[in-house]
Amino acid sequence: MQARVRCAPRRAALAGVALLLAAATGPAGAVQLDAHGNVIGGPGEDAPAARLYAARCASCHDHPEGRVPPRAALRYTPPENVLHALRAGAMRPMAEGLSDEQIRSLVVLLTGREAEPPVDPMANACTSPLDEVVLEPSDWSSIQADPRNVRYRADAGIDAASVPKLRLRWSFAYPGRAAGPVSLAGNRVYLAASTYVLSLDAATGCTRWAQPVEGRVVRAVTLATVPQAGGERVVALYGDDNSTLTALDARSGAPLWATRVEEHALSRITAAPAVHAGRVYVPISGIEDPLTHEPAHACCTSRGGVAALDLVSGRLLWKRYHIAEEPVLRSAPDADPPRFGPAGAATYTPLAIDAKRGLVYASTAEEYGFLNPQGPYSVIAYDLETGERRWQRQFLPGAAEREAICAAHPQTDCRNLFSMGTSVSILQVGEGREVLAVGQKWGWVYGLDPDRDGAELWRTRVALGGDLGGVMYGMAFDGTALYVPVSDDEVRAPHRPGGLAALDPATGAVLWRVAGPDPHCAWGTDGCLAAFVAAPTAVPGAVFSGSWDGYLRVYATRDGSLLRAIDTGGEFAAVGGATARGGQVSGYPVVIGRGAVYVTSGASSILHPGNALLVYTP
């Protein structure tokens, strides 16, 4: 669910649209979800699946303790995950004796959706022997290209002149759902689908290996070179929604190690890890945010953070919570449900590594009760070596200002309007000078001074903020301008267009901006928005931007003029005879390497998901 919108809107405000969408798409007997994936209704207690749940599952999942996820959290779990748990995973004993139909009815009851039918991930296996994998510095080896998060490639054989010549070379249908973008190493492409992590051959798209992910959600793979006896090898690293980081051999897919970095049942690893100097840095997020709207939930105890692991062994070296304070009981002892806090400050976006200063930067999201401790709504710098918190900057307006802003955004959950929406990007501006840039869901972009503990250099407002957040995921930087996606739109009317803005990295001045066009979706008007809820990708002269109407748009970096619009929202004949379905171009969709543009279409769990990887070459 890379693109699950992290703001959980007030239910009443969205109920109209929500019911409409649920009525149009939800299977009978399922929970009903609004456009954001929040639950807004369900079947009666006497439905057969509800009776099964009461008899078999409620004793634990309605009274969650320790590792038991509360029932409400299962709604945000992909149906394939729940199906796997019941058929082959930890919940198999609880489903003993149930028919396949009964198990499927439980999946639909709990998640509101049917599980995707299983597909054979090796149906299009490569016939040539396994090749060696060699990682080059120019390879797009992690979700944002490199750990400075600048999303720019000067040396990948694609520039503005290639854009008119781009043609679809091959496409691939992610088995199940598209979960995240690709990453690249040598002749290989790595990607995460809802049920497998896969490695493909970059030239033909045939499958080198597929590793099942036990029904857990994995969103992206980071590749790194590790020394070993007699040479080196490349490893593929990924986190999952069980807060476990896994390392595989990138050549063969053989498992090397797996480390659970956090025990809290509602914690997650959402963003791909970052690698530096023999260590893996892992951002810790969570799924507790939407449960804050759940009257029965004992809110809230999960905290975001950062963990550092040894790259060779997977051993945990240090872990820090962004909110250092332990959550404690905040309600009367007999309150039902009890209230805990502080909690929250998840990190949903990739970390940034500042090798020069020995720091790792995390941007953090909302606190779950407006207790406003240290940690949420912030950029935090930790020492790479020891994990010590070196500095922190918080971007939460004061109480009076906040109240006024919230009154102006009545349809939005104001608690998370001020969450940081993007990673920190480390920008080189002139000789030896650097600026840290970060975007906020409320529509501001900040420039910070890394040599003065993140002191603010500039701030520029590019968006209004709202249901989908103002500035989300990440930004691109080509050495001249910072390209900022504007996610602004409302799931309900009146829709506002998204767009793209170019800022001067030294001053924050707006160099140009383009509004998103009127949306035209291959799938019709249902769930068709033009918001730019995706990190852009830059090459010399051109910037690629994904949009929720299924389009990839390419703009000239000079003035923002539109060079090309490519519709990815339809169906494509994929390698191996499969059909790839496009959808929203969301999250971190465009990766560039070795003369090719890789576009993931449909990596979104809401409105219009899909499973297409589209590979374009000039």
Closest approach of Cβ 560 to ligand HEC, in Å? 44
Closest approach of Cβ 194 to ligand HEC, in Å? 13
Residue with tokens 């010549």: 165
Q: Which is nearer to ligand HEC, 56 or 402 (CB)?
A: 56
In this structure, are residues 386 and 310 in contact, taking their beta carbons and an 8 Å threshold? no
Distance CA 321, CA 357 (A): 21
Q: Which is nearer to ligand HEC, 260 or 452 (CB)?
A: 260
3-state secondary structure 135-177: CCCCCCCCCCCCCCCCCECCCCCCCHHHHHHCEEEEEEECCCC
Which region holds residue 293: left if phi is over 0, alpha if psi is between -120 and 50, else beta? alpha
- Residues contributing to the site for ligand HEC (CB under 6 A): 56-57, 59-61, 67-69, 74, 77, 81-82, 85-86, 89-91, 94-95, 106, 215, 242
Cis omega (within 30 of 0) on the bond before 181? no
Q: Which is nearer to ligand HEC, 85 or 424 (CB)?
A: 85
For residue 117, how many C-alpha atoms fall within 13 Å in the half-sphere facing its CB? 1
Closest approach of Cβ 320 to ligand HEC, in Å? 23
Closest approach of Cβ 579 to ligand HEC, in Å? 29
Residue type, 542: A
Distance CA 304, CA 244 (A): 14
Which of 337, 253, 244 shows the shortest CA–CA distance to 298? 337
Q: Which is nearer to ligand HEC, 80 or 549 (CB)?
A: 80
Residues 6+ apart with CB under 8 A from 545: 483, 485, 500, 532, 534, 536, 552, 553, 554, 555
Q: Which is nearer to ligand HEC, 111 or 604 (CB)?
A: 111
Q: Which is nearer to ligand HEC, 195 or 557 (CB)?
A: 195
Q: Which is nearer to ligand HEC, 91 or 282 (CB)?
A: 91
Within a 10 A sphere around the Cβ of 154, how many other Cβ atoms? 12
Closest approach of Cβ 176 to ligand HEC, in Å? 15
Closest approach of Cβ 387 to ligand HEC, in Å? 26
Q: Which is nearer to ligand HEC, 39 or 160 (CB)?
A: 39
Closest approach of Cβ 284 to ligand HEC, in Å? 16
Q: Which is nearer to ligand HEC, 267 or 412 (CB)?
A: 267
Q: What is the dihedral of CA 422, 610, 169, 597, to 10 degrees?
A: 0
Residue 198 belongs to what H/E stretch? strand 196-201
Q: Which is nearer to ligand HEC, 111 or 584 (CB)?
A: 111
Which of 603, 544, 552 shows the shortest CA–CA distance to 156? 544
Which of 572, 574, 613, 615 shows the shortest CA–CA distance to 596? 615
Q: Which is nearer to ligand HEC, 176 or 350 (CB)?
A: 176
Residues 6+ apart with CB under 8 A from 146: none
Distance CA 465, CA 408 (A): 11
As given in the structure block, the two tokens for residue 32 are: 């009903």
Q: Which is nearer to ligand HEC, 65 or 431 (CB)?
A: 65
Closest approach of Cβ 216 to ligand HEC, in Å? 6
DSSP per-residue letters across 438-499: EEBTTSEEEEEEGGGTTEEEEEEE-----TT-SS-B--EE-SS-EEEEE----SSSSP---E
Closest approach of Cβ 297 to ligand HEC, in Å? 16
Closest approach of Cβ 52 to ligand HEC, in Å? 7
Q: Are strands 207-212 and 222-228 parallel, antiparallel or unpaired?
A: unpaired
Closest approach of Cβ 51 to ligand HEC, in Å? 12
Closest approach of Cβ 72 to ligand HEC, in Å? 12
